[in-house]
Structure 1
């Protein structure tokens, strides 16, 4: 989950006991909090999404922090990447209190407004905000990454399994042909996994911090799944946001600005972004279908936009040869989603 719909802090009183949350019980989470300096802060639950993490905003006399409860094993990668990003001078949360084995942490609250909310409220600032996003992506692509798992062509193609399992009953031969074709195309385009990727990079995972300057205007969250990926991976993630449409022309502008900053031909970056965007969108199509099967049918509302991203990627000359394979394994949603997502 990301704090994308943050509720206002309740400063009147310390709230009721926290609801049960894995991996610890409500009592265990609250008992741990009572041993920290945040024991008497009000706790307000934040809305959840597709994540396995849960958050509460803690507040007292105008100050705020976030309590995060994560499944076993997910907290250490978050803490490690947060420290790395802060060393780079970027706005990642400071960690105030932590109990790694229990998956509990109290972290800095970077602010109440995501970039998505900011752009919805003030659409005229989207051009400047998008330029800042391009600068942030280029900065990350120029920095030496820490040791991380690699997400290259073969790994990316292998991650299409949710598509084949949940979106529709693709024939095994069609699924295998798409996996092989996508991996081959990514390799031919030159998608080498040698740059830091925050992986789930979109406007709801950026906190708008207007009082800051430079890249610190963008607060970074939801980076625990960071990997080594091709340089345009997070650019592709930004360009294929399932939850919002960008203003016309801004996709080309952010791509051009990113390419100039890295001194790479724009046509090369555009080809990489198209192929990686296709890979991401196919996987997301399967994930949203799975969530719908689990009863969270609001995710079906995002499917048309995701498929639009797929269709747009397939218009790029470097990706167009994959069109028959994509349509054989993942037809448009009006043909298969109704059956595959129930």
Structure 2
């Protein structure tokens, strides 16, 4: 990958680059800052640290005499100044390797210890150019790609008239998406979604990879389309202010920061119930299959079909079962498992099918207490929406994957949903309740596999804490007589 060359016209541009780099670097990255005195190295380091801390008043003393200053931030950062380094061996005493094990290192005057710095480091070389500075960033190609992405986001903001905005990390999630808060003086905070096009994975079936088989969004087009559809139907989804569909960058409305859990992370019954009410009214709306975004782009909402249901359910047998038993499922076990799912999917042939948001639970619902009606419930994650059994979304919130929903609250939500749907007409409660058990089983089989996959493949073990809850929900799902074949298979396989 080619080096990155940037012209910094003044100190403000240097500060902005430091802030942009703070959104690009990750634990294990070492950024060497090379250049003459007064070239801007310390200015950039100070801006980087303050952005990482989200504190513009953060005291950032020069480490010239201490040689290193460490900061316990969102990502730990160690700021080295090697100007007075007497011997390269001193770096071992300063703990460079330890600092890189779980954090980021900024190193000024790296020339004094090049042999001791990581070979995969990044180097930002400052030089004077006219009245400004020229910075050339070179080194590790993976880290350079992240920096280029961050700079592309800055260009996106500049093109939309937000060039002076401050960018601050907001969150990431179990996917590759990342979010930032965009701060503009005198204006409401906006949210930036960074969601580059999904890269193809290994072919699994019919010449397709998992993302295609499960009908998961591969770019931001579905998000923009579904947001428009939800808003047009009178519900609350973020407005999209600026978009680059090819790059996968969106500037969207900030619906708020308060969720449907209390300060202790426990469900607030009123908020869950109101969310279910919104879901009932959304499900009563007619389906919009095709949503135009321009003269040349129309998003077609896919069906939550047999292939999608089975490929998701396969995560249980492909990831969870080998982790649980220490050995893969036999061919006979696989055949029996998917035969069970074929029979269960057959039961859904006549089920009600409407817009299915896919992940309607606490991480993706914003509580807007100052608003009224349906506008109190903000929906923020729906790019994987499909047309499918409405019971799936109800199972998502009544069996929240991230927080335990006690049976009484679950029952209250199910009763409210059914009451609202009956009032709106055309609702088959018996079929819905059967489908709720079926969709609960499908979702929790998927989640059990996802938690293991996140740990083993993606290095994200903290999701495993949800596994006991997932299986408690699965036990409830399997209580319905229609799920007896799946219950029997799970017992025989040693999963239950």
Query: For the superposition of Structure 1 and Structure 2, which TM-score range results when normalised by the shorter chain?
Result: 0.7 to 0.9
Contact persistence 2:271–2:367 (CA under 8 A): no
1:47 partner SS: strand
Out of 433, 438, 441, the residue aligned to residue 275 of structure 1 is 438
Query: Which residue of the partner structure matches residue 152 of structure 1?
Result: 305
Alignment pair present for 1:64 and 2:189: yes
Confirm or deny that 1:127 pairs with 2:269.
yes
- Cα distance change on mapping 1:232 and 1:194 into 2, 3 Å: same
Quote the Cα distance in structure 1 between the aligned partners of 2:161 and 2:493: 54
- Runs of 4+ with deviation above 6 angstroms: none
Quote how far apart the aligned CAs of 1:78 are: 0.4
Task: Kindly indicate whether the alpha-carbon contact (under 8 Å) linking 2:351 and 2:432 is maintained by their aligned counterparts in 1.
Answer: no
Structure 1 portions without partners, runs of 5+: 1-12, 333-342
Question: What is the TM-score normalised by the length of structure 1?
Answer: 0.85
Residues 197, 229 of structure 1: 8 Å contact kept: yes
- In structure 1, the residue matched to 2:344 is 185
Q: Which runs of 5+ in 2 are unaligned?
A: 1-14, 25-144, 198-217, 290-300, 323-327
- After TM superposition, the structure 1 = structure 2 runs for residues 1-342 of structure 1, keeping only pairs within 5 Å, are 16-18=19-21, 19-20=23-24, 25-60=149-184, 61=186, 63-72=188-197, 73-116=218-261, 118=262, 120=264, 126-147=268-289, 148-167=301-320, 168=322, 169-188=328-347, 192=351, 194-263=353-422, 264=427, 266-293=429-456, 294-329=458-493, 331-332=495-496
Deviations 1:8-34 (A, max 9, x none): xxxxx9670153376962222212222
Give the TM-score, by structure 2 length: 0.60
Which stretch shows the higher mean deviation, 41-50 or 178-187?
178-187
Pair 122,201 (structure 1): closer, same or farther in 2 beyond 3 Å: closer
Name the SS for the 2:160 alignment partner: coil
Instruction: Report the Cα distance in structure 2 between the residues aligned to 1:221 and 1:65, rounded to whole angstroms.
Output: 13
2:219 touches 2:245 (CA, 8 Å); kept in 1? no
**CA 1:330–1:150: 2 relative to 1, 3 Å:** farther
* Greater RCO, 1 or 2 (C-alpha within 8 Å, sep 6+): 1
Larger Rg: 2
Query: Which residue is equivalent to 2:84?
Result: none
Cα distance in 1 for residues equivalent to 2:413 and 2:376: 17
Is the Cα contact below 8 Å between 1:210 and 1:217 reproduced in 2? yes
Partner residue in 1 for 2:64: none
Q: How many residues get paired? A: 317
How far apart in 2 are the matches of 1:238 and 1:183?
25
Alpha-carbon RMSD across the aligned residues, in angstroms, is 2.3
Structure (1/2) with the larger strand percentage:
2
Could you tell me which residue of structure 1 aligns to residue 117 of structure 2? none
